[in-house]
Structure 1
């Protein structure tokens, strides 16, 4: 009997980072104060959060504590976000290049998971934040629907609507959308955003 090799989430993770990187690079300085679907973030703060997530992912990949990284990186020049993202991404890819990382248990602020599950979770986070940026800057046509479909399937398993409340948390109650809405609109609405 042969066993299937364990799934390597890195190729899909790279696609999600490619998409997020394109969205980050497309943001113009005059768009930084625009509103986003994330209630707590304007475009600048959302960029700072996306870069922060990369720093957190690099830190946990080396056994560090992500809680030592602020949720939003600031102090980046208006035209420096693409470079900040690229530098942080390079560090993440270096840290996670070793195949052994995928089976190592990684401690996150919200769970302890095998590395492969961590990368899958962050693939979905970058997919959602790509939509947030695209929505805020009106660049929705540039998004990969396959990534959204995978994220929607994953979130439906670990963030069911009945586990949410009006009092907050990472996901608001599901927002109704038409049955024929595109997959990114359905994903955003499932997470409580109002597309």
Structure 2
């Protein structure tokens, strides 16, 4: 079958009226279920996100949760670590659940969607930040699922939100300095999740 370059028009844009906080929480929940299903012997295996093993990627996601909560409280996320190195294998669920509760509390006020939040690459409105983090959790859920033989039930709206955010944030051409490889060619009729991760430099 003929391969074509992934284009910004291959997934329909999500409903702009949707509350991006709900999409973020759904993406976090799916990531949590995927991490919880990792078997102990799989933690040291590689992932499609080549800088991370399964363990390190799970540690990264816990750290991202803590960063999201911190941003919601008005903090600069660059002051927090990018991985949670303090967790034993038996502590994942407790740490994850605690961080999720912090996110829910910090983002409970809808006004956060209009506030300017500080992310590693700049300052953006909370609504845009939620979409960015939705995409990060969705892509990394795919990384962990692929590495551990899982088949998550992908939410079409979350994938669309994630794809739109990544298309806004990542150029189609060279990505020097960005933590993503070049977009990978995919079939035009490939599943939406495959088109998303291919745009992010993964090979589905």
Once the two structures are TM-superposed, the CA of residue 175 in structure 1 deviates from its matched residue by 1.3
Question: Does 2:186 correspond to 1:177?
Answer: yes
1:60-71 matches, cutoff 5 A: 60-71=71-82
Distance 2:114 2:185 in 1: 38
Question: Does 2:154 correspond to 1:147?
Answer: no
Runs of 4+ deviating beyond 4 Å = none
SS at match of 2:160: helix
Change beyond 3 A, Cα 1:38–1:86: same
Higher relative contact order (CA 8 A, sep 6+): 2
Conserved 8 A contact 1:148-1:187:
yes
Map of 1:38 onto structure 2: 49
Q: Could you give the per-residue CA deviations for residues 86-121 of structure 1, whole angstroms, max 9, x where no partner exists? A: 111110111110122121111112111111111121
Map of 2:27 onto structure 1: 16
Map of 1:191 onto structure 2: 200
For structure 2, the 5+ residue unaligned runs are 1-15
SS at match of 2:26: helix
Map of 1:54 onto structure 2: 65
Change beyond 3 A, Cα 1:68–1:169: same
Q: Could you give the per-residue CA deviations for residues 19-43 of structure 1, whole angstroms, max 9, x where no partner exists? A: 1111111112111011101111000
Change beyond 3 A, Cα 1:55–1:138: same
Structure 1 or 2: larger helix share? Answer: 1
Conserved 8 A contact 1:27-1:137:
yes
Once the two structures are TM-superposed, the CA of residue 192 in structure 1 deviates from its matched residue by 0.6
Map of 1:158 onto structure 2: 169
Map of 2:3 onto structure 1: none
Once the two structures are TM-superposed, the CA of residue 7 in structure 1 deviates from its matched residue by 5.0
Map of 1:118 onto structure 2: 129
Conserved 8 A contact 1:28-1:79:
no
TM-score, with length taken from structure 1: 0.89
Conserved 8 A contact 1:31-1:137:
yes
Map of 1:94 onto structure 2: 105
Distance 2:178 2:86 in 1: 27
Residue-pair matches, total: 189
TM-score, with length taken from structure 2: 0.85
